[in-house]
């Protein structure tokens, strides 16, 4: 009998738990440890943030589902990692603290044979002074409750504008010099702009994009050359066309470093310190590791064997110049090299380097996007980690046959650009590979132009809405859920 403990119940952790439970018989134990009581389909938070969808439509409680499916569940947070056990416990374990119910505050050592660290990121609002969702007129859509607050803030502004001559400014983008998840902010600004039109107040609002990207459409992936209606187009030009069509201004190369009530302060790549006023803002925070500590069986600190901010896996972390980075630096199995029974799929793994070209301001401040690992890559890497554990358990020996690097993996992203079955829109971009391979595809920006393409239109909205229902069906493990790909 084996016991697999999964930390986190987001896209990555929940996907791993579902596949492990389906493919392993009940003599093996699958346990999820998460401080969250609900699963949330994160991509639809955007629609909660504009009031077109209720949070209840994209969440469901984890405990009843896990109980029905035979998956253990502890609503708790991890305190520390002990991959060698300790003086009294011979098995590896994680120390956890319960965060809800009668057991709140109690601690427990949860032993395991295999550990999947799928915590996702810490939303590091504290890394930007004054950036706290719901304060200083600045909001977030990173979680469903944040998105609810954002909608209330946006609605208040719309209500103030209706029937008045008041002018207002909306600022949306990244709230830190090294923030990632530009895609979510991009979706939100397009949806907010469309809602302002729908409510008849668009001509009263200046809408501005602010980002740490050097070029529009970088998205933390160094931009891309893509096929658009039979033409080769840079993502920079495509996004510029979309923004110009909608009258959205943009500020690039901006590292936001302080938020005050209605004012965002930032440094740009020219080394200038500037500020931008706003009446409503949604700024994505920096993502960081959770600051976990690790200890060996004697209690010595071994955190550096496990973490490099995020968890260390089979990547090449050798420091080297940007010109020497290759796709081979990226991990394939997400296995920790020191402790072979620990894995970290999704955003929990430490990337070897950024994907976007690193840039510094004239003052030496790093201003560029961190690499994205959310969404499709999270689900794919979680499944391959689960499959390797399943094979290892069934064969009785380590098996790492399932591999998938972001350097040979594609991603399909559909950014909502407006809600509505007849009036909605979506920007669809498929990228292959996610990490550009400049050796294999030297003439097309490191990507296969036959598999990297974009489109804009109503069909994108329909697909995005269909995916909402399909992936909730999958997450709820309803009949034949496993036929839906990650």
Structural domain boundaries enclosing 109: 3-123+289-395
How many domains are there within the chain?
1
Residue 293 lies in a domain: yes
Beta strands in 291-435 (DSSP E): 293-294, 307-308, 310-311, 342-343, 411-416, 426-431
Q: Give the model confidence (pLDDT) of 415-438 as tens digits.
A: 888 898 888 888 888 999 999 999
What does DSSP say about strands 93-98 and 76-82: parallel, antiparallel, or unpaired?
A: antiparallel
Residue 387 lies in a domain: yes
Read off the DSSP letter of residue 357.
P
CATH number for the domain that contains residue 117: 3.50.50.100
Note the pLDDT of residue 281.
98
Q: Give the model confidence (pLDDT) of 41-56 as tens digits.
A: 999 999 999 999 999 9
Strand order in the sheet with 138-139: 138-139, 280-284, 168-174, 205-210, 249-251
Note the pLDDT of residue 231.
87
Residue 136 lies in a domain: no
Average pLDDT value over all residues in the chain: 95
Q: Give the model confidence (pLDDT) of 88-99 as tens digits.
A: 999 999 999 999
Residue 316 lies in a domain: yes
Note the pLDDT of residue 144.
96
Other CB atoms within 10 Å distance of the CB of residue 148: 19
Q: Is 251 exposed, middle or buried (0-12, 13-18, 19+ CB in 10 A)?
A: middle
Given a contact cutoff of 8 angstroms between Cβ atoms, the answer to whether 172 and 185 are in contact is yes
Percent of the chain past pLDDT 70, that is, above it, reads 100
Strand partners, 310: 308
Residue 338 lies in a domain: yes
Residue 33 lies in a domain: yes
For 226-237, what is the mean pLDDT?
91
Beta strands in 269-379 (DSSP E): 273-277, 280-284, 286-288, 293-294, 307-308, 310-311, 342-343
Residue 468 lies in a domain: no
Residue 102 lies in a domain: yes
Read off the DSSP letter of residue 216.
T
Strand partners, 232: 227
């Amino acid at each position: 009998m084996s016991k697999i403990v999964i930390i986190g119940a987001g896209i990555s952790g929940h996907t791993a738990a579902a596949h492990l439970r389906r493919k392993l018989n009940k003599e093996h134990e699958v346990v999820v440890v998460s401080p969250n009581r609900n699963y949330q389909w994160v991509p639809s938070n955007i629609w909660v943030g504009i009031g077109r969808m209720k949070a209840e439509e994209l969440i469901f409680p984890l405990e009843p589902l896990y109980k029905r499916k035979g998956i253990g569940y502890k609503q708790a947070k991890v305190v520390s990692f002990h991959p060698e056990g300790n003086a009294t416990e011979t098995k590896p374990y994680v120390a956890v603290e319960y965060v809800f119910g009668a057991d709140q505050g109690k601690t427990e050592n949860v032993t395991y044979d295999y550990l999947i660290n799928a915590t996702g990121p810490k939303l590091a609002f504290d890394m930007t002074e004054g950036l706290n969702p719901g304060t200083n007129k600045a909001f977030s859509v990173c979680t469903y409750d944040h998105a609810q607050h954002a909608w209330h803030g946006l609605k208040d502004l719309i209500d103030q504008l209706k029937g008045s001559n008041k002018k207002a400014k909306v600022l949306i983008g990244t709230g830190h010099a090294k923030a990632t998840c530009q895609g979510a902010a991009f979706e939100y600004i397009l949806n907010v702009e469309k809602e302002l039109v729908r409510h008849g107040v668009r001509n009263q609002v200046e809408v501005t994009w602010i980002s740490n990207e050097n070029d529009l459409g970088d998205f933390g992936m160094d931009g891309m050359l893509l096929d658009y209606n039979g033409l080769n187009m840079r993502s920079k030009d495509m996004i510029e066309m979309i923004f110009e069509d909608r009258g959205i201004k943009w500020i690039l190369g901006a590292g936001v470093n302080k938020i005050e009530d209605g004012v965002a302060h930032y440094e740009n790549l020219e080394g200038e310190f500037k500020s931008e006023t706003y009446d409503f803002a949604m700024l994505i925070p920096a993502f960081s590791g959770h600051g976990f500590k690790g200890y060996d069986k004697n209690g010595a600190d071994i955190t550096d064997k496990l973490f490099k901010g995020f968890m260390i896996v089979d990547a090449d972390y050798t420091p080297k110049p940007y010109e020497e980075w290759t796709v081979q630096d990226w991990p394939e199995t997400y296995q920790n090299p020191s402790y072979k029974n620990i894995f970290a799929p999704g955003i929990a793994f430490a990337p070897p380097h950024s994907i976007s070209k690193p840039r510094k301001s004239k003052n030496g401040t790093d201003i560029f996007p961190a690499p994205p690992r959310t969404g499709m890559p999270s689900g794919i890497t979680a499944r391959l980690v689960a499959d390797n554990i399943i094979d290892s358990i069934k064969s009785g020996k380590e098996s790492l046959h399932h591999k998938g690097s972001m350097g040979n993996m594609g991603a399909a992203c559909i950014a909502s650009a407006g809600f509505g079955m007849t009036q909605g829109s979506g920007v669809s971009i498929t990228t292959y590979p996610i990490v550009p391979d400049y050796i294999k595809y030297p003439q097309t920006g490191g990507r296969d132009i036959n598999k990297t393409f974009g489109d804009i239109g109503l069909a994108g909205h329909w697909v995005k809405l269909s995916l909402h229902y399909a992936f909730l069906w999958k997450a709820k493990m309803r009949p034949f859920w496993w036929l839906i790909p990650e």
